[in-house]
Amino acid sequence: MTVSIEKLDKVKAELTITVPAEEFVAATKKAYKENVSRIKVDGFRQGKAPMAVIEKMYGPEVFYEDAANDLIMPKYVEAVKELIAQDETFQPIARSEFDIEQIEKGKDFIFKAVVDTKQTIELGEYKGIEVEAIDGEVTEKEIEQYLDMMRGKQATVREVTEADAVVEKWDIANINFTGKKDGIEFEGGAARGYDLTIGSGSFIPGFEEQVEGMKVGETRDINVTFPEVYPAEELAGKAVVFEVTVNAIKRKQLAELNDDFAKDVSNFETLEEYKADIKATLTEEKAAEIQNRYKAEVAQKAAALTDVVAPESMVKAEAENFMNDIRFQFAQQGIALEQYLQLTNGKIEDIENECNMRAESAVKEQLVFEAIAEKEGLEVTDADLDAEFENLSKMYNQPADVVRNMFTQRGQVSLVKRNILMEKVAAFLLENAKIG
């Protein structure tokens, strides 16, 4: 076997692997022995037809695919080992699909593999990165917003009975509606006694806004146009008219903001005590958020200061991880990603493109961080790993050893180590940054 290598760019290399003809012949004979029992040839007992007869009947390439599959991976591994022995700087990260260059009776078997390799990274000046300071002061408005949220959770819903009352934003309007296109009712366009929260964006754009201002008992024609991209193709981009009648209006009644409210929602006796606790909590949360924003900024700037290429294989794997995370998040909410896209008229391609861009940035940061860690002697210790599994145990609500075993069985311990190392580097960069 011989192997040659051609550098395509900073990270990609193409391997050309040549397997001697006699080894390919041996592989085809092996393929014949493994498959002959399943091949029926007239004049021969099942499984007894000579190889030459089968090749004459089906063509000499009848065993080529199995032979190639039998040779490719072992020879690729052998080739990589040979190249590493010749040059220790050659460090493959991942490979693409194999491409067969030559497969023919009596000739050498030749195939190619494009591999991503580890690159030499010349780090920029990653110490002293300038970061603009963020004000961490919690304002009265933020405290009020938090209190409003809590009031909303404690709110009661009442039916609006005033004669002059009209539907307002965030009201729940109970409606009957019938949709017509060109004067004809269309399937799925009618309902009675439907509770619609105005401002939720759950209906066709323009629908909810036109319900605002309606009174109980009032009937109104609402003109809207379906989006150009819509699951029901016969309605996509079409103008329709909905006849809408308001049956009832329900409105949230917020709890009164006083000491009694504070007692109901907290362990404090007075509203002032409760507000002080809210401020302390929000201050702590904001400080953590600011630290994360600082870390993200120094990470981005450190990566930008370094000439690094994100290998395609790593970007692809990271993008798939992002997509899987998105699908999982939607599944947790009881809806598939595809269903959500249909409801919102979104496109899977847009999400995939966003994941690819995020993945490329993430991979570049990872490579730069790994180079910084190597230069600064930052490592993941056993104690670091133990502490991380303790943290994860709280997330999974399982003992740390159970969580560790779960990650071990999934082959994800290396991912945990990587995340710890990335966090260490981010903390190092922040310690050495100029904030002001």
Domain containing residue 226: CATH number: 3.10.50.40
Same domain (yes/no): 173, 292: no
- Of 214-218, 302-306, 427-431, the poorest mean pLDDT is in 302-306
Confidence (pLDDT) at 333: 81
Reported as a single tens digit per residue, the pLDDT across 100-114 is 999 998 899 999 999
Reported as a single tens digit per residue, the pLDDT across 128-164 is 999 999 999 999 999 999 998 898 788 888 899 898 9
Same domain (yes/no): 429, 291: yes
Neighbouring residues of 174: CB distance < 8 A, sequence distance ≥ 6: 193, 194, 195, 196, 246, 247, 248, 249, 250
Same domain (yes/no): 74, 163: no
Percent of the chain clearing pLDDT 90 (strictly above): 66
Last residue of a domain, one of 117, 146, 181: 117
Assess contact for 338 and 313: CB atoms under 8 A: no
Last residue of a domain, one of 253, 268, 303: 253
Q: Is residue 92 part of a domain?
A: yes
Same domain (yes/no): 312, 426: yes
Determine the Cα–Cα distance for residues 295 and 288; give it in Å rounded to an integer.
11
Residue 343 has pLDDT above 80, yes or no: no
- Considering only CA atoms, which of 52, 68, 66 is closest in space to residue 109? 68
Same domain (yes/no): 299, 377: yes
Number of domains into which the chain is organized: 3
Same domain (yes/no): 239, 292: no
Determine the Cα–Cα distance for residues 269 and 130; give it in Å rounded to an integer.
45
Confidence (pLDDT) at 176: 97
Work out the pLDDT band at 174, boundaries 50, 70, 90: very high
Same domain (yes/no): 206, 95: no
Residue 426 has pLDDT above 80, yes or no: yes
Confidence (pLDDT) at 40: 85
Same domain (yes/no): 296, 348: yes
- Considering only CA atoms, which of 320, 331, 304, 332 is closest in space to residue 358? 320
Percent of the chain clearing pLDDT 70 (strictly above): 100
Work out the pLDDT band at 345, boundaries 50, 70, 90: confident
Confidence (pLDDT) at 255: 84
Residue 60 has pLDDT above 90, yes or no: no
Q: Is residue 132 part of a domain?
A: no
Work out the pLDDT band at 290, boundaries 50, 70, 90: very high
Residue 278 has pLDDT above 80, yes or no: yes
Summary mean pLDDT of the chain: 91
Same domain (yes/no): 91, 197: no
Q: Is residue 91 part of a domain?
A: yes
Distance of CA 59 to the CA centre of its chain: 47
CATH number of 28's domain: 3.30.70.1050
**The domain containing residue 241 runs over which residues?**
156-253
Reported as a single tens digit per residue, the pLDDT across 230-261 is 767 788 889 999 999 999 999 988 888 999 99
CATH number of 329's domain: 1.10.3120.10
* Mean pLDDT for the stretch of residues 71-84: 94
Distances (CA, A) of 398 to 170, 395, 411: 41, 8, 18
Burial of 96 per CB tally in 10 Å (0-12, 13-18, 19+): middle
Q: If DSSP codes are grouped into helix, strand and coil, which group holds residue 63?
A: helix
Residue 346 has pLDDT above 80, yes or no: no
Reported as a single tens digit per residue, the pLDDT across 388-418 is 999 999 988 999 999 999 999 988 899 899 9
Confidence (pLDDT) at 166: 95
Q: Is residue 379 part of a domain?
A: yes
Reported as a single tens digit per residue, the pLDDT across 222-232 is 999 998 877 67
194: tokens are 């439907």
Same domain (yes/no): 110, 196: no
Work out the pLDDT band at 89, boundaries 50, 70, 90: confident
Determine the Cα–Cα distance for residues 5 and 280; give it in Å rounded to an integer.
61
Determine the Cα–Cα distance for residues 313 and 307; give it in Å rounded to an integer.
18
Confidence (pLDDT) at 230: 75
Determine the Cα–Cα distance for residues 180 and 190; give it in Å rounded to an integer.
9
Q: Is residue 246 part of a domain?
A: yes
Work out the pLDDT band at 39, boundaries 50, 70, 90: confident
* Mean pLDDT for the stretch of residues 339-358: 85
Last residue of a domain, one of 117, 147, 164: 117
* Mean pLDDT for the stretch of residues 79-90: 90
Residue 200 has pLDDT above 90, yes or no: no
Confidence (pLDDT) at 408: 93
Reported as a single tens digit per residue, the pLDDT across 17-26 is 999 999 999 9
Q: Is residue 104 part of a domain?
A: yes
